[in-house]
A = this chain, B = another copy of it.
Amino acid sequence: MNCQKSIVISNKEICSGVFEMVIEDKCIAEKAAAGQFLHLKPVESNEVLLRRPISIHRLDREKALITLLYQLKGKGTVGLSKIAVNEYIDIIGPIGKGFPIESEKRCAIVGGGIGIAPLMQLTADLKAFGKPISCDAYLGFRSDVYKLEEFSMLCDKTHVATEDGSFGEKGYITDIFAGNLHKYDVIYTCGPKIMMSKIKELCSTKKLKCYVSLEEKMGCGVGACLVCVCKTKAGDGDSWHHSKVCCDGPVFDAEEVLLND
């Protein structure tokens, strides 16, 4: 595991409340994979004590650049947004199990809001893999949309829905996705829990492989403190145990996790 200070190359607002940060770090860029995350210290002071987990949005392994996409939520993300270009940011990472790529498959990614963040590098990897892998994107937003062009460049077809209908279809992206279910073998999803539950349900009716990227509040971020748990199936029947999102995930096989309690 690494823990170091890396330099911030750019950090700008790309749409109201959503920021894109580019970090240069050879070590991280070399090791990182789609679906992993970085555990960042957003402000030096003890006032915001904990690190914040942010997914790897995009990797440029050659140039050693890592791009993050994050939404302002509270003190931590606001702190992140205030880091100036050429300043250093304290990072543990890359952490966690990323998205597995299954070859010769028709894939779809389903992202909700800022949940699209980890899916970008995944689509890039799928595209780089080339035929016979294909990938369509299903992106849902409340109102403001972002990153559509990049996704459409990397995907075969990009579907967009907004809850208020201000862009693309009006409604939930899950509904659009539901109609096209039969077209895919593997689904990757990240977004609000309720959306992921819905996708998981849809996939299980058709026995499609589905990977979910979970979020849970974190302490150490490295597997030592046990605060970031989710329920995963243990053996047969209803038995489960608590797995750590930070190191057993954040990406899980949807069939393995219990999302609804």
Q: How many residues of A contact B (CB 8 A)?
A: 5
Residue A47, interface by CB 8 Å: yes
**Chain A, 64-84, contact with B by CB distance < 8 Å: what is the 0/1 string?**
000000000000000000000
Q: In the complex, what's the smallest C-beta–C-beta distance from A51 to chain B, in angstroms?
A: 16
Chain A contacts to B: CB under 8 angstroms: 43, 45-48
A47 to B48, CA, bound (A): 9
> Which residues of the other chain, B, contact A47 by a CB distance below 8 angstroms?
45-47
A45 to B47, CA, bound (A): 6
> Which residues of the other chain, B, contact A45 by a CB distance below 8 angstroms?
43, 45, 47-48
A41 to B45, CA, bound (A): 15
A46 to B47, CA, bound (A): 6
Q: In the complex, what's the smallest C-beta–C-beta distance from A61 to chain B, in angstroms?
A: 35
Q: In the complex, what's the smallest C-beta–C-beta distance from A85 to chain B, in angstroms?
A: 15
> Which residues of the other chain, B, contact A46 by a CB distance below 8 angstroms?
47
A206 to B162, CA, bound (A): 86
A46 to B48, CA, bound (A): 9
> Which residues of the other chain, B, contact A48 by a CB distance below 8 angstroms?
45
Q: In the complex, what's the smallest C-beta–C-beta distance from A150 to chain B, in angstroms?
A: 35
Q: In the complex, what's the smallest C-beta–C-beta distance from A50 to chain B, in angstroms?
A: 14
Q: In the complex, what's the smallest C-beta–C-beta distance from A174 to chain B, in angstroms?
A: 41
A7 to B207, CA, bound (A): 64
Q: In the complex, what's the smallest C-beta–C-beta distance from A251 to chain B, in angstroms?
A: 34
Q: In the complex, what's the smallest C-beta–C-beta distance from A82 to chain B, in angstroms?
A: 11
Nearest chain B residue, comparing its CB with the CB of A48: B45
